[in-house]
Amino acid sequence: MKKISIVVPFLFIFLVGTMFAGCGSSNNPAPAALSVSTATLPNGTIGVAYSQTLAATGGTSPYTWAVTVGTLPAGLTLAGATGVISGTPTTAATSTFTVTVTDASSATASQSLSITIAAAGVDTTPDPFSFTAQADVTLSTVITSNTITIAGINSPAPISITGGAYSINGGAFTSTDGTVSNGQTVAVQHTSSASNSTVTTTTLTIGGVSGTFTSTTVAAAGADTTPDPFSFTAQTGVALSTVITSNTITVAGINSPAPISITGGAYSINGGAFISTDGTVTNGQTVAVQHTSSASNNTVTTTTLTIGGVSAAFTSTTLAAAVDAAALYQSLCAGCHILGTVDTTGFAPDLSGLNTVPSNFTPGVATAHNGATITLSAAEIAALSEYVLAN
């Protein structure tokens, strides 16, 4: 009994001591040391948007970032709350700098980084631009166009003009060749004609791209520049990707030169060269229009000519795709009587009795025939008729 009394108090003291010893310890390990995990950054190009996010490990979030030594490339900035370096570089150079991250416990870590910004490939070809034509302007008057904004270039582009003068960013008008930069604005100017109903044209060229500005003077008092209605004959079944010329119309019903313009093609006056720029036409002159047909089968191309406010359209429709008559016949006919012979190919639906030209079919119209409803194009009817009669 004495041995038991000694062991029990000892065990009790051991357990109690262990419990109290555990009360002073923590289950949360200390955070890892803060460090910047981004070791390198990609390079950039002038004029090309740049965005990269810096990363850190360890420490206690949230993090804040700052450039503490050196500077970022021109055009780039660092967002302190997110660590994002972004912007559009503006200068070709290599920038070396140090970024420092600070965590919620004010611990810091730094990393030296660099970014090289390269010059962009030279592009001096601007996006297409256009000027709005002006009509009924006063004779012998300085006429100024609308303003266009240069876009699509990353280097100064050559600028030149014929038949007038140009102004950059609202400056003085000049006709001397020069250069223009992306984002600048340009307007052109010329003196209108001293004659009624006459077109004056100015052509501005920037980096090889041209745009024309035209002004048409007012008609003379009592002048009639509205012609009689005119029309062009539509052409069908034309070859693909082919220059198609309309019939010729004769201008009538005017007693003064009338403005003429075109969309979707070109026009010729009295058999002259085909052009697409605005001009004038007089009573009795002949006009034809021209365009290139579609590169796709059975497709319409439209050209619209306007004379003195009166318009007419010229259309051409390309030929339909070739019809495989044999395949078409087999896809439609089963038990068809062809010149007294029964077709046993077994295809459906039944077109029994189709042993002559199928005159009962109307192109593009669903037609009932021996219990089936069939729609055939004109080309299919013609091909199928030829095939049936030949067999």
Going through 169-307 in order, the beta strands assigned E by DSSP cover 178-180, 185-191, 199-206, 209-217, 235-238, 243-245, 249-250, 258-263, 266-269, 279-281, 286-292, 300-307
| Residue 164 burial class via C-beta count within 10 angstroms: exposed 0-12, middle 13-18, buried 19 and up | buried
Answer CATH for 134-217 from 1.10.3470, 2.30.230, 3.30.160, 2.60.40: 2.60.40
Let me know: does 329 contact 384? Beta carbons within 8 Å: yes
What is the residue extent of each domain of the chain?
Answer: 35-118, 134-217, 235-318, 325-390
Let me know: does 259 contact 278? Beta carbons within 8 Å: yes
Question: Amino acid letter at 269?
Answer: I
pLDDT in tens, the chain (391 residues): 444 444 444 444 444 444 444 444 456 677 899 999 999 999 998 888 999 999 999 999 999 999 999 999 999 999 999 999 999 998 888 999 999 999 999 999 999 999 999 877 788 999 999 999 998 899 999 999 999 999 999 889 999 999 999 999 999 999 999 999 999 999 999 999 999 888 999 999 999 999 999 999 988 888 889 999 999 999 998 999 999 999 999 999 998 899 999 999 999 999 999 999 999 999 999 999 999 999 998 899 999 999 999 999 999 999 877 777 666 666 665 444 433 333 444 333 344 444 444 455 566 666 665 555 667 676 777 776 676 666 5
Residue with tokens 């003291």: 13
Token output for 17: 């001591």
Question: Amino acid letter at 387?
Answer: Y
Let me know: does 168 contact 189? Beta carbons within 8 Å: no
Q: Which homologous superfamily is 35-118 in?
A: Immunoglobulins (2.60.40.10)
Compute the distance between CA of residue 349 and CA of residue 358 in angstroms, rounded to an integer: 15
Token output for 318: 């390309």
Q: Considering Cα of 242, then 243, then 249, then 254, what sign does the dihedral take?
A: positive
Q: Considering Cα of 263, then 268, then 274, then 278, what sign does the dihedral take?
A: negative
Compute the distance between CA of residue 181 and CA of residue 328 in angstroms, rounded to an integer: 61
Compute the distance between CA of residue 37 and CA of residue 53 in angstroms, rounded to an integer: 11
Give the angle 253-258-261 at the CA atoms, nearest 5°.
120
pLDDT computed for residue 328 by the predictor: 65
Looking at the DSSP bridge assignments, the partners of residue 113 are: 97
0.85 surpassed by pTM: no
Compute the distance between CA of residue 236 and CA of residue 294 in angstroms, rounded to an integer: 12
Sheet with 84-87, edge to edge strand ranges? 50-53, 84-87, 76-79
Provide the 3-class DSSP secondary structure of residue 388. helix
Question: Amino acid letter at 241?
Answer: S
Let me know: does 278 contact 133? Beta carbons within 8 Å: yes
Compute the distance between CA of residue 338 and CA of residue 330 in angstroms, rounded to an integer: 12
CATH of domain 235-318: 2.60.40
Let me know: does 165 contact 310? Beta carbons within 8 Å: no
Token output for 159: 């600028």
Altogether, the residues listed in the chain come to a count of 391
Q: Does 235-318 match 35-118 at the fold level?
A: yes
Token output for 296: 């796709």
Compute the distance between CA of residue 53 and CA of residue 82 in angstroms, rounded to an integer: 8
Question: Amino acid letter at 68?
Answer: T
